[in-house]
Structure 1
Amino acid sequence: MKLLTDLVSIPSPSGNTNEVITFVERFLSELKIETKRNRKGGLIATIEGKDQSRHRMLTAHVDTLGAMVKEIKSNGRLKIDLIGGFKFNSIEGEYCQIETSSCKKYTGTILMHQTSVHVYKDAGKAERNQENMEIRIDEKVHNADDIRALGIEVGDFVSFDPRVEITPSGFIKSRHLDDKASVALLLQLMKQIKTENITLPYTTHFLISNNEEIGYGGNSNITPETVEYLAVDMGAMGDGQSTDEYTVSICVKDASGPYHYGLRKNLVALAEENQIKYKLDIYPFYGSDASAAIRAGHDIVHGLIGPGIDSSHAFERTHQSSLENTAKLLFHYIQSELVL
């Protein structure tokens, strides 16, 4: 829980992830796990196994939704352009941080331009879109020149306050559980492997990708020896979905098509053999790093599992039991035989 809290508290919208990648790098360095960065800025950790001729790769992404400064408005506020797939209404009233190219940081709030009901008669009817929403900066500014004097310019990154909270009943409420919950799980898994001196059956790579929210985080740096590629990402909840906040979700199909049938059956068998609570599900408007790798042409067996997350790409929540069930399945999976 502490690790997850630390991760979601580090701003890392897609395109600006160096700080959180450095955090992960230091965590793994302390465990004496070999890592390297790829040119896109993602991090790859490798743990050698008995069989070095066939490899596994697991991935989770550390980049999050966010925004960029689109326009400096004459009223001293900022128009934004979204990073990732979400709607403007999900960030209305959210505290945020603007980071300039010189690394200065300013706070603000994302609001409708027509927020005050004492001034705007139809405030509740106005559309939540790029034209109507803006950032109110917590600085004494009156116009565009005042904004630029702070060093703020078009293209500066905007991150959202996660508002992370762990409740006595075991719920974790926070933005960016997609996919930092899974990153925390993989880091804990690697720590367990090292501290318990577990010998893996196959050399296993762990890719902490940093561009998943924009579609191409995990489709490179897959070794030719890699047979299985498992993405660890959130299970999406909603009407018609099986996924909940208490089990591990095993994806059978998303917008890219079915996941590998043999790997899916192996994951289900491992869950049943080890009394792990799981749900099978289809995510209709979803793509993962595993599906991105398939689209890129890699000849791999691909799968997708993860904790169930409520209100994805908005005010997210999961439960500790979902994390525990996902962790157990990952632990048994990395010690299992390949399906091919």
Structure 2
Amino acid sequence: MDEGKEILRILKELILKDSPTGYHEKAMDYVREELTDAGIAFKTTNKGAVIAKISGKRPEGLLYSAHTDTLGGMVKSIRDKGTLEFTLIGGYMFNTLESENCKVLTSDGKLISGTVQTTKPSVHIDSNEARTLERVQANMEVVLDERVSSKDDVVKLGIGVGDFVFMDPKLMILDNGFVKSRYLDDKASAAVLLAAARKLKDMEPERSIYFFISNYEEVGHGASAGIPEEITEFIAVDMGAPGNNQNSSEFKVNICAKDSTGPYDYALRKRLVSICERESIPYAVDIYPSYGSDASAALGAGHDLRTGLIGPGVFASHGYERTHLDSLMATFDLVVKYAMEKA
């Protein structure tokens, strides 16, 4: 198996399946299809997460997590002029959505095209106000690609409050290894884990390896429930965040020492670093001051676990994101190597 091609294949399929938090069926169906095709046993939790298992020689288990839910939007209100006010799902910044194409999913399953704009989108009309207008919910709207000029016109299309708004991911996979798209957080890591599961299923690990693909991470409770009792270690595989004053990299696996919820398990982090150094896996250790993971959610729910956080470097997180195949492969290598360790 060419692991790099496999990761990119899965990533492309996941990115193209809209899955803002709360609308997860298509993405999770794809996860189940991949696991079924690989011959890996799994179950679905009441909340819709998928937990796969590769049995090891000992009962105690290591759990990896990634999430397929993403940022997104919902219709908040229909304005009198026929545009839509929308509320955000997860930690978007409104300015990153300006002028983006989107789709509105009606309750009867229709997709209606639109564009995110400010309420003063033209410098030829509003001049300086178009440039200085604060990018907040009251000043943003979805302009539908339909002949509508009133609230009644929009209602007749089948659009209502609570309908999901899907932002165009703008996926680009370049020949030089760069990948640009929305929602690399965390579909890049989900692709890594699904590829790693295929690799590990025939390798007879010492302990059982679990893969928890969650669907409510962006709103804070993805892995707060459903964790098997035999799990002793939980490694969240989520994005690393390169940027100003950060040590993370788009070309390495990134190992988080601490995020907004506090330090991750020190002994576990040292073992991850040791494997990277022993196996020549490029890595960086970093701290993320405005970050939480599925491992954090598990600890917050009271689970008694040793936790860690690793992942590919994702530049411009929660915006139009970018990573590199080298980072995906470094993360894949660490996931596989640590799973085969004798803990």
What interval of TM-score do these two structures reach, taking the shorter chain for normalisation? Answer: over 0.9
Which of 60, 70, 73 aligns to 2:76? It is: 70
Task: Report 1:1-340 matches (<5 A).
Answer: 1-52=8-59, 54-121=60-127, 122-194=129-201, 197-338=202-343
Deviation at 1:134, TM superposition (A): 0.3
Between the aligned partners of 2:205 and 2:152, the Cα distance in structure 1 is 59
Q: Which amino acid aligns with 2:90?
A: G
Q: Which AA in structure 2 matches 1:37?
A: T
How far did residue 119 of structure 1 move? 1.4
Question: Partner amino acid for 2:266?
Answer: Y
- What secondary structure does 1:309 align onto? coil
Q: 2-side partners of 1:12 and 1:87: how far apart?
A: 18
Q: Distance in 2 between matches of 1:102 and 1:43?
A: 26
Deviation at 1:218, TM superposition (A): 1.0
Three-state SS of the structure 2 residue aligned to 1:147 is helix
Q: How many residues align?
A: 335
Runs of 5+ consecutive residues of structure 1 not aligned to the other structure: none
- After TM superposition, the score normalised by the length of structure 2 is 0.96
| 1:91-140: CA deviation from partner (whole Å, max 9, x where unpaired) | 11111111112211111110111001121122101111111110011111
More helix by share: 2
Cα distance in 2 for partners of 1:168, 1:224 equals: 44
CA deviation string 1:129-157 (max 9, x = no partner): 11111001111111111111111100001
Runs in 1 of length 4+ with deviation above 2 angstroms?
none
Tell me, in whole angstroms, the C-alpha distance in 1 between the residues paired with 2:35 and 2:12: 17
What is the RMSD of the two structures over their aligned residues, measured on CA atoms?
0.8
2-structure distance, mates of 1:232, 1:95: 29
Query: Aligned to 2:146, what secondary structure does the other structure show?
Result: coil
Distance 2:49 2:107 in 1: 20
Q: Which amino acid aligns with 1:224?
A: E
Cα distance in 1 between the residues matched to 2:196 and 2:175: 25
Following the alignment from structure 1 to structure 2, what is the Cα–Cα distance between the partners of residues 68 and 117?
A: 28
In the TM superposition, residue 337 of structure 1 has moved relative to its aligned partner by 2.5
SS in 2 for 1:235: coil
Q: Secondary structure at the match of 1:217?
A: coil
CA distance in 1 between partners of 2:199 and 2:229 (Å): 27
SS in 2 for 1:236: coil
1:43-70: CA deviation from partner (whole Å, max 9, x where unpaired): 1111111112x11111000000001000
Which runs of 5 or more residues in structure 2 are unaligned?
1-7
